[in-house]
Amino acid sequence: MKIEHVDVPLDNNSYTINIGDDIIDSKYLFPLLKKGDRVVLVTNNVVSDMWKNTIVHYLLQYRIIIDEFILPDGEKYKNLHSVESLLSFLLKKKHDRNSILISLGGGVIGDLTGFVASVYQRGIRFLQIPTTLLAQVDASVGGKTGVNHVLGKNMIGSFWQPIGVIIDTIFLSTLSTRQLVSGFAEVIKYAISFDYEFFVWLEKNLVKLSVDSKKMLYCIKKCCQLKSKIVNLDEREKKSRMLLNFGHTYGHAIETHFRYSTWSHGDAIAVGMIIASKTAEIIGLLKSTDTKRILKLIYMAGLPIMPPKNMYAQEYLKYMERDKKNISGGITLILPTSIGKVEIFNNIKKDVIVSSIQSFL
């Protein structure tokens, strides 16, 4: 059993990401738990039906005291109401500062669990066990936690690092094709943003990932390495960590507009990357040949390449104007200048944004 390790070196909150296939029962599963610890396993009803009993079985072998908190599945439950429900559960069960939350699920469960861990009694420990590709390559790493608001995605949150991340590709076997494809959006984001050679590798291997476990492990590790490097440079998103948001300003506008229901995060980010690339092309930052390669790879992944027909340019703007990256009222975008490199651009003109969106409608 080979387990890959990626360290996330931070000043005060360093931890290790353990990556492997069928490692759920290994000694790496719960590296920082000890006999008698109290934990709350936080998951959703879909993941619970498939994996909860397995996790509980191994926790009990460690003689861990377990409570379970199960939410409904879906991005629409990533909100303050769910936060309050989990906080009330912790209080009723008399959990203290030594309790540990374990997140078992995708990005919704991970973000919400981490946020609650950051505020309960001013901060308790939590462990990430991501079960979707999107969470394994992105959301579970880096300590960005939070919930959505009807007026904007991830507008309420905190930076709170986990004590560890356990990435087991066995969880991917139970994902639907749509869920797996959704995760490819974040994979492609890393290649476009930071690594041209990885982009070329994806052009050759993307369609093989779902049937080749070695290639999938390489892909996940590569994404974790790229994110760890950025988080180490800028843990709290003062500047360089903003680069991880390529495609997200447009994508979050789509998710928010449709109330986090009809468009998945991956689908929205895929379209967001295409519009952002077109924006860069219009400004003169990106060659049209690069835009076409980006679009082709996203299409190859099975992700959407056209914006929603029933969402107009002005509707994007009202959400983009509230984006966290904005400075002094202007719209900030992360745009590619070539495949493998993105930069931060402030005060992008609204007519350029409108033109970028309308070019697809």
pTM, two decimals, is 0.95
Burial class (CB in 10 A: 0-12, 13-18, 19+), 63: exposed
For residues 347 and 352, what is the distance between their CA atoms, to the nearest angstrom?
A: 11
* pLDDT recorded at residue 328: 73
CB 233 within 8 A of CB 240: yes
Distance of CA 332 to the CA centre of its chain: 20
CB 16 within 8 A of CB 32: no
For residues 135 and 141, what is the distance between their CA atoms, to the nearest angstrom?
A: 8
229 and 290 belong to one structural domain: yes
Q: What is the pLDDT of residues 335-344, one digit of tens each?
A: 999 999 999 9
The average confidence (pLDDT) of the chain is: 95
223 and 158 belong to one structural domain: no
Could you tell me the two tokens for 108? Answer: 């919704």
322 and 196 belong to one structural domain: yes
Q: Clarify whether 95 is annotated catalytic.
A: no
CB 274 within 8 A of CB 251: no
* pLDDT recorded at residue 24: 85
Q: Clarify whether 144 is annotated catalytic.
A: yes
Q: What is the DSSP letter of 51?
A: I
Q: Clarify whether 245 is annotated catalytic.
A: yes
CATH number, domain with residue 218: 1.20.1090.10
For residues 270 and 145, what is the distance between their CA atoms, to the nearest angstrom?
A: 22
Q: Which residue has the tokens 């960590």?
A: 241
Q: Clarify whether 38 is annotated catalytic.
A: no
* pLDDT recorded at residue 134: 98
User: Of 125, 153, 221, 265, which one is the catalytic site residue?
Assistant: 265
339 pairs with which residues across the strands? none
Q: Clarify whether 237 is annotated catalytic.
A: yes
193 and 131 belong to one structural domain: no
**187-204 mean pLDDT:** 98
Nearest to residue 115, comparing CAs of 160, 162, 69? 160
Nearest to residue 180, comparing CAs of 134, 248, 128, 130? 134
214 and 292 belong to one structural domain: yes
Q: Which of 174, 206, 234 is the last residue of a domain?
A: 174
Q: Which residue has the tokens 């290790």?
A: 16
**265-283 mean pLDDT:** 98
Q: What is the pLDDT of residues 308-336, one digit of tens each?
A: 999 999 999 999 999 988 887 789 999 99
- Domain count within the chain: 2
194 and 288 belong to one structural domain: yes
163 and 21 belong to one structural domain: yes
pLDDT band at residue 299, thresholds of 50, 70 and 90?
very high
Structural domain that includes position 11? 3-174
Q: Clarify whether 122 is annotated catalytic.
A: yes
Q: Clarify whether 252 is annotated catalytic.
A: yes
**90-108 mean pLDDT:** 98
Distance of CA 251 to the CA centre of its chain: 13
126 and 85 belong to one structural domain: yes
Could you tell me the two tokens for 143? Answer: 């300590």
Q: Clarify whether 197 is annotated catalytic.
A: no
User: Of 153, 248, 257, 278, which one is the catalytic site residue?
Assistant: 248
The alpha-helical segments, DSSP class H, found in the chain are 45-47, 53-61, 80-92, 107-119, 133-134, 177-194, 196-205, 213-233, 248-257, 265-283, 288-300, 313-320, 350-358
Q: What is the pLDDT of residues 242-258, one digit of tens each?
A: 999 999 999 999 999 99
69 and 145 belong to one structural domain: yes
Q: What is the pLDDT of residues 20-61, one digit of tens each?
A: 999 887 766 666 788 899 999 999 999 999 999 999 998 998
For residues 258 and 308, what is the distance between their CA atoms, to the nearest angstrom?
A: 10
* pLDDT recorded at residue 20: 94
Percentage, residues of the chain above pLDDT 90: 90
Q: Clarify whether 318 is annotated catalytic.
A: no
* pLDDT recorded at residue 227: 98
Could you tell me the two tokens for 293? Answer: 């390669």
Q: Which of 148, 174, 200 is the last residue of a domain?
A: 174
20 and 163 belong to one structural domain: yes
Q: What is the pLDDT of residues 132-184, one digit of tens each?
A: 999 999 999 999 999 999 999 999 999 999 999 999 999 999 999 999 999 99
User: Of 18, 78, 154, 186, which one is the catalytic site residue?
Assistant: 186
Q: Clarify whether 68 is annotated catalytic.
A: no
114 and 192 belong to one structural domain: no
Could you tell me the two tokens for 322? Answer: 């509230």
152 and 203 belong to one structural domain: no
User: Of 44, 154, 245, 281, which one is the catalytic site residue?
Assistant: 245
